[in-house]
């Protein structure tokens, strides 16, 4: 029910309560097929409204705070920056949400299944669009189509059973599902299927109307829930009959946010598991080819032929007539067989050729023994691969995939699926602390290490921290911006711990973007000049 009209109807109402009287901060895109509308709510909080286009399992959700990256970001629709929001409404006839702005601007969210788009409108004219603007003729054609108002039309059918029966009989479609899909505006295939499922096998007109009435009131009074199906992925619903293990929410917005997070996680996991499975299956195919290539019986026969040729040559060392490249001899080892032609190396005499054949026989037998030992190792690897493939199929989150790699690292290394080279990437010479999944703090160890951390490793927009008024480690916070107060506070606690004031109850810690930190002449390594810094009081803590 992600793009269902009723889901979007309640979403628009909740957004109106949050955004009426607020402002548009900026509009930008950080990923393909994703546009972010950064907003300030009527309570002064930062809120990101994210619309995903061209993806069947994702549509719209929100995220708290500011999370814009400094690189690879495209600014969009700059003309509406800092425009006040007067309201959020949904089109009564279609899945279109309007953010009405000051000066007659409006952001149009077209949340259709295959043609989701974000348009910028002023007056009645579309002046910008995230995706390519539709042709004018198509827009004009759409405007001429008069669709019924969804809620009013359904309300009339629910309150008037006779009208419902008449409409049902008027439709030209034969099957019941087709009739309901044609006559019930806002009902997609999922809702029609749900309605028929509730009616049971008979599907009498009276029963259909009764169940329609109950379903209509559920849609007006939603109970948002997300069913976490590990195989199919998360499923969002606003109906009153969620699965037993579904997670329930008080608002559609909260439900959509949770659903989107879990869906991204599911899609990421599916890709990781697919890549891992492909790697394991490729290795298994290679092992199967190696086993098929090893043929000990053929090698044994070859060794016997080499040894036989050696014996025959030794028995004919004084053969009067033979060519430099071959010799024809009688096989005394098998008198019933015809004469044999044995190839020779022209540069060697018969005795030396015989010795060469004996060496070949010995090497071939050694090859058989080595091959048998290798076969046992490869068969063991094959069993291990089968076990890994079975275990990897049950992974359900990125953390489980990472845990799988860590748990089976020794086996993966033996199989050659993880590099054991000495040229592996060396560990950074700094202390490292994971603040969140995407945010890492690097801490210097001494003066020269601080110098390297700040001026060789750090990027311009990383956050630089240092205990103020005392000696201590330089710290670089990567993956956060100056608005991420929670991450900065945790980083400041660590910076305070790695300073000379670590035993104090509270330590002032200054922080700024690295681009405002510079060297100064005649200062020893590790000492810097800082501009535009902010100060936070932190309790020293080793994270």
SS (HEC) of 144-187: HCCCCCHHHHHHHHHHCHHHHHHHHHHCCCCCHHHHHHHHCCCC
For the chain, what is the domain count? 4
Same domain, 20 and 118: yes
Beta bridge partners of 68: none
**Residue 191 is encoded by which pair of tokens?**
């809702």
Q: Are strands 233-237 and 507-513 parallel, antiparallel or unpaired?
A: unpaired
Q: Are residues 359 and 444 in the same domain?
A: no
User: Which two three-digit tokens encode residue 417?
Assistant: 């699926």
Single residue among 391, 413, 443 that ends a domain in this structure: 391
Partnered with residue 512 across adjacent β-strands are: 464
Length of the chain: 543
Q: What is the 3-state secondary structure (H, E, C) of 118-130?
A: EEEEECCEEEEEC
Whether residue 76 lies inside any domain: the answer is yes
Domain residue limits at 327 = 296-391
Distance CA 363, CA 417 (A): 31
For the beta sheet containing 247-248, the strands, ordered from the edge strand earlier in sequence to the opposite edge, are 233-237, 225-229, 247-248
Q: Please state, in angstroms and rounded to a whole number, the distance separating the CA atoms of residues 31 and 45.
A: 24
The tens-digit pLDDT sequence of the chain (543 residues) is 888 999 999 999 999 999 999 999 999 998 888 999 999 999 988 999 999 988 888 899 998 887 777 667 888 999 998 899 999 999 999 999 999 999 999 999 999 877 889 999 998 899 999 987 554 444 444 444 567 889 999 999 989 988 988 888 887 677 888 888 888 888 888 998 988 888 887 678 888 888 889 999 999 999 999 998 877 888 999 998 877 888 999 999 999 999 998 888 888 888 888 888 888 889 889 988 988 888 899 999 999 999 999 999 898 888 777 788 889 888 888 888 888 898 999 999 899 999 999 999 999 999 999 989 988 988 898 899 999 889 888 887 788 888 888 888 888 888 888 644 443 445 688 999 988 878 899 999 998 899 999 999 999 999 999 999 999 999 999 988 888 888 999 999 999 999 999 999 999 999 999 999 998 777 777 788 999 999 999 999 876
Are 36 and 101 part of one and the same domain? Answer: yes
Return the half-sphere exposure (C-beta side, CA atoms, 13 A cut-off) of residue 212.
27
Distance CA 309, CA 317 (A): 12
| 13, 113: one domain | yes
On whether both 500 and 442 belong to a single domain, the answer is yes
164-171 long-range contacts (CB < 8 A, ≥24 apart) are 164/205, 164/209, 164/212, 165/205, 165/209, 168/205, 168/208
Taking CA atoms, 243 is separated from 266, 317, 324, 467, in Å, by 19, 89, 87, 52
Domain boundary among 391, 419, 440: 391
Same-domain pairing of 11 and 126: yes
Domain boundary among 168, 192, 222: 222
197 and 303 belong to one structural domain:
no
Count the Cβ atoms, other than its own, within 10 Å of residue 268: 13
Instruction: Please tell me whether residues 93 and 164 are part of one structural domain.
Output: no
Task: Determine the Cα–Cα distance for residues 325 and 281; give it in Å rounded to an integer.
Answer: 48
Q: Which residues make Cβ contacts (< 8 Å) with residue 461, sequence separation at least 6?
A: 70, 481, 513, 514, 515
Same domain, 76 and 108: yes
User: Is residue 455 within 8 Å of 507, Cβ to Cβ?
Assistant: no
Residue 281 falls inside a structural domain: no
Rounded CA-CA distance 191/206 in Å is 18
Q: Is 277 domain-assigned?
A: no
Residue 62 and residue 159 in one domain: no
**What is the rounded CA–CA span in Å between residue 483 and residue 26?**
15
Is 9 within the bounds of a domain? yes
Report residue 237: phi and psi, to 5°. -150, 155
CB 310, CB 361: distance < 8 Å = yes
Domain assignment present for 525: yes
Instruction: Tell me, yes or no, whether 310 and 339 share the same domain.
Output: yes
Same domain, yes or no, for 307 and 213?
A: no
Is 231 a member of any domain? no
Is position 285 within any domain? no
- Asked if residue 255 is part of any domain, the answer here is no
Token pair belonging to 298: 């053929």
**SS3 labels along 381-407:** HHHHHHHHHHHHCCCCCHHHHHHHHHH
């Amino acid at each position: 029910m992600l793009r269902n009209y009723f889901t979007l109807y309640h979403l628009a109402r909740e957004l109106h309560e949050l955004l009426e009287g607020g402002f548009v901060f900026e509009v930008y895109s950080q990923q393909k097929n994703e546009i972010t509308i950064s907003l300030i709510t009527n309570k002064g909080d930062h809120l990101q409204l994210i619309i995903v286009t061209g993806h069947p399992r994702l549509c719209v959700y929100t995220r708290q705070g500011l999370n814009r990256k400094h690189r690879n970001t495209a600014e969009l629709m700059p003309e509406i920056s800092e425009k006040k929001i007067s309201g959020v409404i949904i089109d009564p006839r279609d899945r279109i949400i309007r953010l009405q702005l000051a000066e007659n601007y409006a952001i149009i969210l077209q949340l259709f299944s295959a043609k989701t788009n974000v348009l910028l409108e002023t007056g009645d004219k579309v002046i910008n669009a995230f995706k390519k603007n539709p042709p004018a003729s198509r827009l004009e054609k759409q405007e001429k189509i008069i669709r019924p108002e969804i809620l009013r039309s359904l309300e009339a059918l629910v309150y008037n059973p006779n009208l419902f029966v008449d409409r049902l009989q008027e439709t030209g479609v034969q099957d019941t599902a087709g009739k309901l899909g044609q006559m019930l505006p806002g009902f997609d295939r999922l809702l029609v299927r749900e309605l028929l499922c509730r009616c049971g096998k008979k599907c009498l007109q009276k029963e259909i109307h009764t169940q329609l009435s109950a379903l209509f009131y559920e849609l007006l009074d939603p109970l948002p829930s997300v069913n976490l199906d590990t195989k199919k992925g998360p499923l969002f619903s606003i109906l009153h009959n969620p699965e037993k293990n579904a997670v329930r929410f008080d608002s559609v917005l909260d439900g959509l946010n949770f659903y989107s997070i879990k869906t991204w996680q599911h899609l990421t996991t599916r890709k990781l598991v697919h890549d891992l499975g492909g790697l394991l299956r490729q290795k298994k195919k290679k092992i199967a080819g190696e086993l098929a290539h090893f043929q000990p019986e053929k090698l044994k026969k070859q060794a016997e032929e080499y040894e036989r040729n050696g014996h025959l040559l030794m028995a004919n060392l004084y053969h009067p007539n033979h060519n430099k490249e071959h010799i024809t001899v009688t096989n005394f080892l098998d008198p019933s067989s015809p004469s044999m032609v044995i190839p020779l190396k022209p540069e060697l005499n018969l005795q030396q050729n015989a010795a060469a054949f004996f060496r070949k026989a010995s090497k071939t037998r050694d090859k058989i023994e080595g091959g048998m030992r290798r076969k046992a190792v490869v068969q063991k690897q094959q069993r291990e691969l089968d076990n890994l493939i079975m275990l990897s199929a049950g992974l359900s989150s990125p953390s489980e995939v990472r845990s799988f790699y860590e748990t089976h690292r020794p086996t993966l290394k033996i199989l050659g699926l993880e590099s054991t080279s000495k040229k592996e990437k060396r560990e950074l010479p700094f202390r490292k602390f994971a603040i969140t999944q995407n945010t890492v703090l690097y801490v210097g160890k001494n003066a020269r290490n601080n110098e390297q951390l700040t001026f060789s490793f750090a990027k311009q927009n990383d956050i630089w921290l240092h205990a103020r008024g005392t000696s201590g480690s330089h710290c670089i916070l990567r993956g956060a911006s100056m608005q991420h107060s929670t991450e900065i506070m945790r980083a400041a606690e660590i910076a305070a711990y790695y300073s000379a004031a670590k035993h104090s109850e509270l330590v002032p810690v200054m922080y700024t973007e690295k681009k405002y930190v510079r060297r100064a002449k005649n200062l020893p390594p590790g000492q810097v000049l800082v501009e535009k810094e902010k100060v936070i009081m932190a309790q020293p803590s080793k994270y």
